[in-house]
Amino acid sequence: MDNVEKLRKAFAEALQISEDVITDDLKYNSIKEWDSVAHMALVAELEDVFDIMLDTDDIIEMSSVMKAREILTKYNVEFS
Amino acid sequence: MLKTLHKVSSHSSKILARDDGGDVLRYGDLTDHENFWREAIPERSFVILLCENTVPHLGAYIGLHAAGHAILLLPAKISNAHLMQMIETYQAQAVVSVQNGLVRCEQHYVRSEALHPDLSICLSTSGSTGSPKLVRFNDRQLYANAESIAEYLDLTEDEIPLAHLPMEYSFGLSVIHSHMLVGATLLLSNASVMQPQFWENFSEATSLAGVPFHYDMLLRIRLEKRDSKNLRTLVQAGGRLPKDKVLTLHDIASEKGWKFHVMYGQTEAGPRITWLPHSCIPEYPDCIGQPIPGVEVELVNEEMVIKSSSVMMGYAETRADLSEGDVMNGVLYTGDLAEWVDDRFLRIKGRKSRFIKLQGNRVGLQEIEDFFASIDIEVVCKGVDDSLTVFTTSGPKEKISETIIENFSFSPRSFNVVLLDEVPRLSNGKIDYKSLNALGDGGV
């Protein structure tokens, strides 16, 4: 499984939504499933899946799927 | 009460509130808001205000109140169906909302039954559930609680609280009232702990109030690494925070030179009832503390019964109830069972009724079960604060989840649905909650 797919799966799992809904444009608070409680679950899921530890600033900057990719890149997670 | 409760001159340019958009409300602006609403709605009316934490909303709230209207505060994100139900049930004369910074006032019922002359503010009994039941207050009750809060927290006009708790939520409203009383400056915000705006406000605020799930997030996001040039006080209420977290927060606060106080309240009490000061936490981390000034607590068969001039006038379930006077006479049976520890502090032992708090809001387990029964789905609920498990014999689970989210507005991640072949029952036919406990993981 490549990282793009892993990311989609992580979002789907944490937000408990279908993978079809997950596009780069999907933003925090734009759907009811991505609220602050789900955001905590998302952080845990991403840390688990990519075996990283996110900085606090990155957690609160992660306001869209696109932003999550950008941030993960800083942790040497590559999206080809 | 609101316009006149503070000691700030009505011409003062002192800032009462600033919001996420940078919009500012000054103490000196309040008379204009009052005059606006006197003209917009000439007769004393029952007005629904759809709330968000912004300056236009706060201006409308204070203006409507000062103009003599009785106000029901509801969240702006309320579903249309639920709003219509509220308008119908209480024959609301107007609904006030703010859209794109502009105040809108929709007229509804032209003629309604009379309102009790003292009725000033109504709040929903639960922040989010479908129940239309309201709590009724007069000015004296809300003023009494605000005054008590200002006293025990030693509030001054130098305070800059981060007012992020929804203003239609009794705890959030008490932050606003108590700080207005002393002429402080509110940082009104809709941002969650998980958003940068929250931390911008945090760096400037002198105090922060939160419910257990806010503190869970603050700990997750490593509060101990966060600096704030002004922060002095953290307060927690809205459900039980586990002892280990209370101690951790106490230690972080001590390290930073902040104070962390645990509090207990109920909407019906206006809302605050007891507080456990920072310095007493190491010895009594599982207690809710002592009654706040003006509140007396008595244990009647273990149940906490409070006497306070801040106790509500009563509930309302129909328009006719809005013409009722004070039926409580300052006495409230809380439904919480408690004991005194060392004759100093109260500790909660359990609840008489099947209520839990979910993200600070009260949730009646029976209410959820009854709702599903009404649509012929068998559901049994179990839970403690911030952990709700819904058992059902009728799948799929997703369908049950969706129904709950739609009708009760819970956060999708705040509950679990567990599918059972059969609800375990005792020989007498009653639900076997002990066996249920073993079945659900109950986590969030």
Q: What pLDDT does residue B443 have?
A: 37
Residues B344 and B391 in one domain: no
- Whether residue A24 is predicted with pLDDT greater than 60 in this model: the reply is yes
Residues B290 and B411 in one domain: no
- Rounded to an integer, what distance in angstroms lies between the CA atom of residue B135 and that of residue B217? 30
For the ranges A28-42, B2-16, B90-104, B365-379, the lowest mean pLDDT is seen at B2-16
Q: Please report, as a single letter, which amino acid is at residue B52.
A: E
CATH assignment of the domain containing B391: 3.30.300.30
- Rounded to an integer, what distance in angstroms lies between the CA atom of residue B285 and that of residue B348? 12
| A48: enclosing H helix or E strand | helix A36-50
Residue found under tokens 């049930």 = B89
- Distance (Å) from the C-alpha of residue A38 to the closest C-alpha of chain B? 6
Which of B330, B350, B370 marks a domain boundary?
B350
pLDDT band at B227 (very low <50, low <70, confident <90, very high): confident
How many domains would you assign to chain B? 2
- Distance (Å) from the C-alpha of residue B413 to the closest C-alpha of chain A? 6
- Whether residue B409 is predicted with pLDDT greater than 50 in this model: the reply is yes
Among A30, A36, A42, A55, pick the best mutation site for testing chain B contact (most B Cβ within 10 A): A36
- Whether residue B270 is predicted with pLDDT greater than 70 in this model: the reply is yes
CATH assignment of the domain containing B346: 3.40.50.12780
Residues B366 and B389 in one domain: yes
Which of B350, B383, B402 marks a domain boundary?
B350
Tell me if B2 is assigned to some domain: no
- Rounded to an integer, what distance in angstroms lies between the CA atom of residue B294 and that of residue B330? 11
Q: What is the pLDDT of residues B359-390, one digit of tens each?
A: 888 888 888 888 898 888 989 998 888 889 99
Report pTM: 0.88
Highest mean pLDDT among A15-24, B41-50, B110-119, B426-435: B41-50
- Whether residue B180 is predicted with pLDDT greater than 50 in this model: the reply is yes
CB contact under 8 A, B225 and A56: yes
Tell me if B292 is assigned to some domain: yes
- Distance (Å) from the C-alpha of residue A68 to the closest C-alpha of chain B? 14
Rounded mean pLDDT of B42-58? 96
Residues B168 and B269 in one domain: yes
Two tokens at A76?
């040497």
A3-74 under CATH 1.10.1200.10, yes or no: yes
Nearest to B159 by CA among B174, B145, B175, B143: B175
- Rounded to an integer, what distance in angstroms lies between the CA atom of residue B425 and that of residue B332? 34
Tell me if B444 is assigned to some domain: no
* Domain housing B229: 15-350
Q: What pLDDT does residue B325 have?
A: 97
8 Å CB contact between B193 and B212:
no
Instruction: Tell me what the pLDDT averaged over chain B comes to.
Output: 91
Q: Give the 3-state DSSP-derived string for B50-77, with helices as H, strands as E and coil as C.
A: EECCCHHHHHHHHHHHHCCCEEEEEECC
Residues B101 and B211 in one domain: yes
Helices (H) and strands (E) in chain A, counts: 4, 0
